[in-house]
Structure 1
Amino acid sequence: MEKFDRKTEVMSVIRREERELTAMSDQIFDHPEMAFKEMFASGLLEDYLERSGFEVERGLGSLPTAFRAVFKRGEAGPRIGLLCEYDALPSGHACGHQLQGPAVAGAAVAVRKLCRAEAFTLVVYGTPAEEGKGGKVILLDEGYLGDMDVALMMHGGPATQTDIRSMAKISATVTFHGRSAHAALKPEAGRSALDALLLSFQGIEFLREHVKEDTRIHYTVADAGGPCNVVPAVAAGEFGLRSYDSAYLDQLIARFENIVKGAALMTQTQVSIAYGQRIEGKIPAIALNDLLMEMAELFDAPDRKPPREKTGSTDFANVMHRIPGSCIRVAFVPEGTSSHSQEYLEAGKSQKAHEAVLCGAAILAAASMELAENGAVFDQVKEDFRKRRKG
């Protein structure tokens, strides 16, 4: 199909849905819900997709605010996934997640109506709790998100672009157990858990000189163990380890554990480490990035820029470790605006935010149809990802 024809028919469908899509975005913005509590947002999107002819499963595994909506034609063909987030921060939707669900839903409706592939499956996943809780990681662990060959997302931003790398991360709670004693009358009887914690902090500082420059290590005191006149029997710290390379994160974890064990050895204390959820770094799907940016140009998306080489951490990266994935960021705030900021929040119901919903929907719809209808493009994306994953 000629690109002009594709652009015309996709925008025709998106424009017919414009009022409902932008209204949903505003409604989600006006009802901010934090991780695992997104009942209003998920219900709104589920109802829309069900009315639009999708088979909707409400609540997935242990997550009542996750959903899966499916449209299938034929018995084979590519399985195209569209993922959306809708959780808010404590300050509200200061990250633009209110845009994602309506954009993905609009794209899904356009694909259902327009895709000419003889056989394909379109799967829409509502994925809660991206902001620090890793909803996609939980869904993966519980057996979901495996029914896609590729995964696409949309996000608002200060520029229209894709991403290359993100930071792998893991958190750890370290607890030292010593022996309490009177700090003035019989300090020799004590074994200070706090001393062990402070030594581990110092060890981390020495480690910083001997790790890759894009490594990040954070720490804080969670429990100092009590008053200063008692040798503390228990002390705990919170640690965060990050790297742009998931394999290097494994090396960092091993060195971190040696520091912690060394601190326990020096103080004659015992130590336990409880790791939190692990977020991987992205395996980039460059061919998929290029396809999304090609469609961004087709629909004249605003402020198009080259891909971001480095970003923060996202649970979408765990999906991208298994299948090709890409997220198109669509400009709706001024360049230089930080996500999670007041400026981001104030732009949430602006005309540019509404335009980002529609533009994002059009880009995702056109890219999805290209993957479903053009076997050469689909195979190129899969092969590109296979090579990068192997490397």
Structure 2
Amino acid sequence: MSDDALAPVYARIREEVAARADRLWDVALALHRDPETAFEEHRAARLLSGELETAGFEVERGVAGLPTAFTGRSGGDGRPCVALLLEYDALPGLGHACGHNLIAAAGLGAALAARAALGRVEGSLLAVGTPAEEHGGGKVVEVEAGLFDGVDAALMVHPGVYDWTWAPLTASAQLRVGFHGRAAHPTGNPTEGIDALAALIQLFNTLPVLSRRLPPGSHVQGIVSDGGRATNIVPEYAEGLFGLRGGTTAAREELEAELRSCAQGIALATRTTVDVDRVGEGYEHFRDNDVLSGRFADHIARAGLRLSEPVPGIYLGSSDIGNVSNRVPAIHPWVSIMDLEDGADHTPRFAAAAASPRARRAMLAAAEALACTAADVLLRTEVQERAWACLRDKAAAGL
């Protein structure tokens, strides 16, 4: 089925989004006025799942063991299945300075418009509420719970300061490194002490050496989370928390192995012992599906938004969408709501931009493009097949 053949479907989707424009913006502003942080998004989840339920979706709340996660299904359990992802957690102290209120409204609008425009089709449409992207990784939990099993495309969009077809998102993990020594009085019996803090400081001193040989997209940043209790006691325990990022999940795993090796070597040299533990599950790198992100870019161009490829060498942090994208075909395009020269996300200025007229235009254009991309997957067998082939090829190449 060609674009020309689907033109009436795309036109109906445009009409359905336009008919809901004011309500979708009301939802976006309601979330913006009432920000809730990771795993605490009870009012947001209730608002969004209620909108889906009112529209006729079969809603299940508390999925994957997460009280603020939900799904809304239309069309049964058949294949193909398209999942539209809604993020809605906010940042502590900054509110929606990452624009998740717009992600939620765009995903909601896409789900409502696609259901209304397509009617009964083979397959199913799934709206997925994904809490705690900023901290904790709701999508990681949902992936492990099997929520994305049987999904053929996972679609979402993110506001930002770039107009890019996809987001270069690194893999990330946190490691807690704890050195164990022996307490002593630094004057009375200094030779009896084994300074755990000195060992931790030595680990920090190795990081610049380690960083010089890391590949692009990889880095490590640490803080001292426990440095002792008093200046007149040799610290018997010291702990650091280290954030690791890699351009690919494999690169992050190599960096993790290197940090563990450094810590163990320092423990041997300082006569301490060391524990190195992963904090949480970690985020995998984002694997863009060129087939689907290309369809999204074509669709959003009708609204006058032109997306380009990311600038090489620029990375935009990490996200739990990476864990989804390594298992099913996925997209995560970037649509600007503020100019680069005015700053970046995770700032008060960006939080204000997430409730601006420009944000409304971007959200509605993204909702339409997401719904049209969902229609491509549901109605065009060749799009489904090419999307899965793209994922397999990238996985085989380690990209």
TM-score (norm 2): 0.93
Matched, 1:296 2:300: yes
**Do 1:87 and 1:128's aligned partners in 2 also have CA atoms closer than 8 Å?**
yes
Of the three residues 342, 354, 374, the one matched with 1:368 is 374
Of the three residues 307, 312, 316, the one matched with 2:317 is 312
Partner of 2:350: 344
Q: Secondary structure at the match of 1:172?
A: strand
Write the deviation string for residues 4-42 of structure 1: whole angstroms up to 9, x where unpaired: 534432221111111211111111111111111111111
**Do 1:117 and 1:373's aligned partners in 2 also have CA atoms closer than 8 Å?**
no
Partner of 2:192: 189
Paired AA for residue 99 in structure 2: G
**Do 1:328 and 1:360's aligned partners in 2 also have CA atoms closer than 8 Å?**
no
Write the deviation string for residues 231-288 of structure 1: whole angstroms up to 9, x where unpaired: 1111111111111021122221111111101111111111111211211111221112
Partner of 1:201: 204
Partner of 2:170: 167
Paired AA for residue 305 in structure 1: S
Write the deviation string for residues 90-124 of structure 1: whole angstroms up to 9, x where unpaired: 21111111111221111111211222774111111
Partner of 2:81: 79
Of the three residues 244, 248, 251, the one matched with 1:245 is 248
CA apart distance, 1:289: 1.4
Change in Cα spacing, 1:205 to 1:85, as seen in structure 2 (3 Å) is same
Which one has the bigger strand percentage?
A: 1
**Do 1:182 and 1:230's aligned partners in 2 also have CA atoms closer than 8 Å?**
yes
Of the three residues 88, 91, 97, the one matched with 1:89 is 91
Partner of 1:283: 287
CA apart distance, 1:374: 0.8
Unaligned runs of 5+ in 2: none
Paired AA for residue 375 in structure 2: M
Change in Cα spacing, 1:41 to 1:238, as seen in structure 2 (3 Å) is same
Unaligned runs of 5+ in 1: none
CA apart distance, 1:308: 5.0
**Do 1:7 and 1:299's aligned partners in 2 also have CA atoms closer than 8 Å?**
no
Of the three residues 261, 267, 272, the one matched with 1:269 is 272
Over the aligned positions, Cα root-mean-square deviation in angstroms equals 1.7
Partner of 2:46: 43
For residues 160 and 254 of structure 2, the distance between their equivalents in structure 1, rounded to whole angstroms, comes to 33
Larger mean Cα displacement after TM superposition, 123-132 or 325-334: 325-334
Q: Secondary structure at the match of 1:272?
A: strand
CA apart distance, 1:53: 0.9
Paired AA for residue 206 in structure 1: V
CA apart distance, 1:295: 0.9
Of the three residues 18, 22, 27, the one matched with 1:24 is 27
Moved over 4 A (4+): none
For residues 214 and 328 of structure 1, the distance between their equivalents in structure 2, rounded to whole angstroms, comes to 19
Partner of 2:386: 380
For residues 199 and 43 of structure 1, the distance between their equivalents in structure 2, rounded to whole angstroms, comes to 49
Paired AA for residue 57 in structure 1: E
For residues 196 and 159 of structure 1, the distance between their equivalents in structure 2, rounded to whole angstroms, comes to 42
Q: Secondary structure at the match of 2:297?
A: helix
For residues 340 and 192 of structure 2, the distance between their equivalents in structure 1, rounded to whole angstroms, comes to 60
Paired AA for residue 297 in structure 1: A
Paired AA for residue 289 in structure 2: A
Of the three residues 95, 99, 102, the one matched with 2:102 is 99
TM-score (norm 1): 0.95
Matched, 1:356 2:362: yes
Q: Alignment length, in residue pairs?
A: 389
Matched, 1:260 2:263: yes
Q: Secondary structure at the match of 1:182?
A: coil
Paired AA for residue 289 in structure 1: S
Partner of 1:322: 327
Paired AA for residue 353 in structure 1: A
Matched, 1:135 2:141: no
**Do 1:162 and 1:308's aligned partners in 2 also have CA atoms closer than 8 Å?**
no
For residues 334 and 208 of structure 1, the distance between their equivalents in structure 2, rounded to whole angstroms, comes to 31
Q: Secondary structure at the match of 2:294?
A: helix
For residues 221 and 79 of structure 2, the distance between their equivalents in structure 1, rounded to whole angstroms, comes to 46
Larger mean Cα displacement after TM superposition, 357-366 or 133-142: 133-142
Q: What's the % identity of the aligned pairs? A: 32
For residues 367 and 359 of structure 2, the distance between their equivalents in structure 1, rounded to whole angstroms, comes to 12
Q: Secondary structure at the match of 1:40?
A: helix
